[in-house]
Structure 1
């Protein structure tokens, strides 16, 4: 808010202006004195100086040439023709540059209704002006963004050529730093407007431009964390034909049925083939047990079908000169699958998808979950299947062997990309030139010839770089320099120190069986070890043993060790632990313990003899007494009665939430089929525990009486 003195000066100046009197400090002071307004004497002089400064600025604006035409647009020729001051410093450079930027944008609006060549010309003009510093460096990208936002797609495709032609210009300074965000936003906006099926070529041109424009180390162009496009769903519908129906073959435009078709694709294979696209879309689900089982089954059947179909090499030789067509979307009609599997390009698409997913499942990606690891059995299956796919690719014409070598080359490059991203995307450095052996010998001989006889050659010490420069270089490479080479190397073994601490290699805690082996043997009276030599009396051993028991044994918490000395508590706990460790289960115990075991065995034998005549019967209450496995007959009786209660039973049988969700998605319309699939999976995955006794126990515990009566009629 203005002060009292400022307001007084303003009002006095206004009075003088109304009377057409020159505004001076003396006249302003006279008016203030007549009005009995007391202010500091310097205020009128300051107001007059400010007025003169504003007058100079208005006169300089007129001299700059900011003359507007009849439509209010500044005249560019006037702006550019204005000479700079003699000292070379233009105090109005920013104002001049802003005015030129606005003039260019206004002029572009006029050209939008005219030819595209004129739009390209003004963009080229803005590039030349930006090189001379007459307009802002980001103006070319701003002009292109304005034009592409308002033009239709067909004109955008033609105008986009100026971006491709001047890609080397955009990579130069000052355009790269000023335009890279605008160009990235411009390309993303275009991709959102385009259709991937109708504007496939234009989308590819945009992606290629981004790949050429941004350097390899630009993180905005990298999929660092390995995300997948989960929205890319492949829809396939029902097929009206039967499994054994012959496929209609077309010859010369007329359809007829061949009595003996070479390949007949069943509806079952059709569904399994297109269901694999869901695994290609989201490979991470293969790390779960049930999806992996489904993926292996479908893959084996599809590869077997592809191996049984031999392609006509002569046909591909005749059609090699035909124009190359690219189809961005799959046609999933069931009647086309026979033709697709006999098409060389289509087979290559599918086989390369298998190679990509197998490579991802085995590749060490930094951002993978710790549980996303394949077992040894799964790794072996992947290796064998990969060899089959390589063989199929090599047999697929035209030039199968050459195409296979290209695929292997791209896989090796993908390994290098993964390694680079795992290291935190360090800055790429050009390889250093290697000195040949001959040049090294010449240099060595020249140095030897320069030595004086009888004098030892003193090696010149290389000047040591300042520590500050070393730290700056390390920070630029996202490394840490600790001042010691050994510590620096140890600290930088893993870019992510927290991930390094969670590594499996750091779990060097010994097992209880190895650590307590000697102490347990010393506790045996037959060993006759004197108390002072027992490890349980060692304070260091006691402390480590209690920590190990607290981490790995429940016996540590079953008694309150605070009421016992550490030695006595450790002895009691080790005796309990020894009974559970495999190494000590077969050792001889005391005589009293042996007698007790014999008595227990005799009692068990008598009980078994009593129960043996009634093996095939059920005890009171209906619970089956004989250990029998669950068969398809019991599953067939139980599944229709369970209904939606199968989910509760599945959790009791050890199924996880993702597995339950998998059964629901497989058979969404039938609870009976869901229950039947869950029970069969339980029997296949856990044959030892999938017994009638276990099933009866959980059904009785869940109070599912109807299910009990259906599965075990004798229990009613």
Structure 2
């Protein structure tokens, strides 16, 4: 008896039948035959949940997942083998993949099953068909990465890397960019799967160029030249100085050779060609410069390339106006694209005259110079001070101080050259921004890639933030009397105020000296009965205010009385006249015959003082009369 295959088992046959029902239902739910829109979930969710209804309780989850996977693969292989990807009926494959995404999210099958099928679909298609498959991937990216991404990430990475190996960087550059963008948008920023933790360089990126007209050179190998000519070129000819004729028998005197002067030799483009393209090996593997010989060769080659580049730039700027003076060809960089420059000798002169080509090489040099400057003693100490350090990102080589000065000067020269024009300043700023971010990226790798994922905000923090936001934006009522404002109740006509209250003489008539002195005495009595420190300070301030106002009024017409005012003493004895009785009590028995003579003198004195008091307020007559009556009363008593 033949053993049935896995696809012929009853549970798998049942699941396959239900999948076919789902695909038939999807045709009515999604009538379009394109990749987008996605299959609506509401129309198929019931049938998706029923995929496990034919299983008894004896089957565990592993068996159920395997049964769904086997049935899905059977249906998938049947569709892609019988329908071309450009055929409108190929929409059944997209519907099947949408169904499997929903199954993975709802626990009907393994979450990575749909990723496996997409990977196999990419393997089964040409590059043109892969573009259509990638349309599906880009349109479903958020749904694919929304749940259980930790189970799908490696499948995505493997399938995309395999696709990139198949594509040509020159012919399929735009498609390669789409693949990279998909990976960047799908994987979290702190995911280590796309990080070069060991800092390995892409040494496989070799540059082939011609040594002679027919012999290419690989990876900067030595040129094959004629030994005789090589010896003639490498040997430095000795300077021949004409000697004066010597007499027979005279002793020859050796002529001193002139001091050697080091001069920079400007190479022709033909001689510069191999020197220039050998620099690419240093760019692809900067660790070669740790050897002093290679470093010196790199410095020399870079200097010679810079001199030739300046010559080429002058011709280019003068002929096409890329310097920005006339605005011609300023936007040609937006359309200029070279995935890998050609290394033919015939094109070398034109490449040197191309400003975009020069910028490409100069940016490579900036990247390499920044790498060298990260190996100075100061920079290495700063990295060594980190708590966790990725040892594979650290190098034993330390850049000398002299080489560091050369690297710094080279970077400044390149920056100045790139910023020579207005458009060049924008380009240089963009390059600086990218290199600055790259430094931060390298530091993150040196720190062993600490997690940059922030924990979700707690419920308590969110509620507090919402409460604070409501409090800050709530509608506020203006108080009846804001703090610090003046009481304007006196303007109310109904409470003895308004315009008539403003006409009261007390509002614009200055008090007399007598009123001020009486007020001081009243405040003095209140001060003795003050209950707290605040009330005491208020009364003291009121007394000082009234004292100052009284003295200010006396300054106008009673200037002589100011000499009698003593600081801190009462003003009443100065500005108020004394009666005869008060004067007698003050003098006492100092004069034996103080009867009538005293009263006569007091009469004169009291009158004189009374005349001078309140002269400015118009109360002179009244004061004189009161003084006379007081004097008469004193005589009667005597």
* Structure-2-length-normalised TM-score: 0.50
The structure with higher relative contact order (CA 8 Å, sep 6+) is 2
The structure whose Rg is larger is 2
